């Protein structure tokens, strides 16, 4: 039995946890507190699956790009403690108003997740809660500059170049590793982008930052990206554009799953 979850394997054939590396999710879960108002949020099934598989009740889930709080809602529903960070104060206020009173705590911090001072604050919160580390980290960063999330200059979506974005993202990974328990898991949810007539493999570039920081890659999950274009009735125009050009339309994103094993090579980004 794995030590990192509390799945009841007596009925293992019917358990609601996915174990394949291809996630075709036909519909966004809109139940409970999820209303999908935030442009750039992820679908609740992603954090739900990760939380069920890689944490136990009463453990701490951490999200350094909390946005509208999708991970927080799932953590609360599944009886996990939660800590989230976002650069935008109004989103943190929204998240604070959204969580209810349960036996588990949900803490939200306004800050720059690439800044180690923000994580001093997180370490203090953990200490006050009589915890030392978090047991699962879920990172859903801006996809570089595809969606500009705010005017804040520390917002990763405002990085002027891809290299600057990757450097900042790497810093978020380093900070997260600091508060993650050994032998526990960190997931990155990210897609690629298309710029100046070129496919930019942003997903693999972000994956590479995690590898450079010493994390062990356990899985690459490909998930489908249905919905948005269909919702906006833009499927046909995208297909027409593709047929008149030489590229394929993005239909997938990645979930990279890492384990914090022996981090001897952490902080080596600049040397690689």
Ligand X SMILES: C[S@@+](CC[C@H](N)C(=O)[O-])C[C@H]1O[C@@H](n2cnc3c(N)ncnc32)[C@H](O)[C@@H]1O
Q: Are 75 and 106 in contact (CB under 8 A)?
A: yes
Q: Among all residues, whose Cβ is closest to ligand X?
A: 67
Which range, of 65-73, 99-107, 126-134, 202-210, touches ligand X by CB under 6 A? 65-73
| Minimum distance of ligand X from residue 175's CB (angstroms) | 10
Binding flag, residue 131, ligand X (CB under 6 A): no
Please, what sign has the CA dihedral across residues 69, 74, 76, 79? negative
Closest CA to 78 of 92, 59, 93, 63: 59
> What's the closest the beta carbon of residue 47 comes to ligand X, in angstroms?
8
Site string for ligand X, 132-161 (x = CB under 6 A): --------xxx------xx---xxxx----
Is residue 238 within 8 A of residue 166, CB to CB? The reply is no
Binding to ligand X by residue 42, rule CB under 6 A?
Answer: yes
* The only residue of 4, 40, 123, 252 in contact with ligand X, by rule CB under 6 A: 40
**How far is residue 113's CA from residue 139's CA, in Å, rounded to a whole number?**
11
Helix axes 45-54, 70-77, angle to 10 degrees: 50
Q: How far is the CB of 264 from ligand X (least distance, A)?
A: 27
Q: How far apart are CA 7 and CA 10, in angstroms?
A: 9
Quick check: 178 binds ligand X (CB under 6 A)?
A: no
Using CB under 6 A as the binding rule, whether residue 186 contacts ligand X is answered as no
Q: Across the chain, where does the E strand assignment appear?
A: 22-23, 60-63, 81-86, 106-110, 134-139, 180-190, 193-195, 198-200, 216-224, 252-259
| Kind of pairing between the strands at 216-224 and 198-200 | unpaired
User: Of the two residues 33 and 229, which places its CB atom closer to ligand X in the complex?
Assistant: 33
Query: Would you count residue 114 as binding ligand X (CB under 6 A)?
Result: yes
Q: Which is nearer to ligand X, 194 or 247 (CB)?
A: 194
**Quick one: 193 or 236, whose CB is closer to ligand X?**
193
Q: Is 32 left (phi over 0), alpha (psi -120 to 50) or beta?
A: left
Residues that bind ligand X (CB under 6 A): 38, 40-42, 64-65, 67-68, 70, 85-88, 91, 112-114, 140-142, 149-150, 154-157
């Amino acid at each position: 039995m794995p030590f990192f979850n509390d799945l009841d394997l007596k009925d293992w054939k019917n358990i609601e946890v996915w174990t394949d590396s291809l996630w075709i999710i036909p519909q966004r879960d809109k139940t409970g507190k999820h209303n999908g108002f935030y442009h750039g949020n992820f679908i609740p099934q992603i954090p739900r699956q990760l939380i069920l598989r890689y944490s136990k009740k009463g453990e701490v889930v951490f999200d350094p790009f909390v946005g509208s709080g999708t991970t927080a809602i799932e953590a609360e529903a599944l009886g996990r403690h939660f800590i989230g960070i976002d650069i935008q104060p109004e989103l943190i206020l929204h998240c604070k108003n959204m969580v209810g009173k349960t036996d588990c705590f949900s803490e939200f911090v306004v800050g720059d997740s690439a800044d180690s001072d923000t994580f001093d604050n997180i370490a203090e919160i953990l200490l006050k809660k009589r915890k030392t580390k978090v047991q699962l980290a879920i990172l859903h960063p801006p996809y570089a500059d595809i969606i500009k999330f705010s005017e804040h200059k520390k917002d990763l979506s405002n990085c002027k170049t891809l290299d600057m974005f990757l450097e900042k993202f790497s810093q978020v990974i380093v900070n997260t590793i600091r508060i993650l328990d050994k032998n526990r898991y960190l997931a990155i949810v990210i897609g690629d982008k298309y710029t100046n007539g070129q496919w930019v493999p942003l997903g693999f570039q972000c994956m590479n930052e995690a590898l450079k920081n010493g994390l062990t890659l356990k899985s690459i999950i490909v998930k489908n990206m249905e919905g948005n274009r269909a919702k906006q009735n833009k499927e046909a125009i995208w297909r027409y554009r593709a047929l008149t050009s030489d590229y394929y339309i993005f239909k997938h994103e990645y979930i990279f799953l890492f384990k914090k094993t022996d981090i001897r090579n952490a902080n080596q980004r600049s040397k690689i």
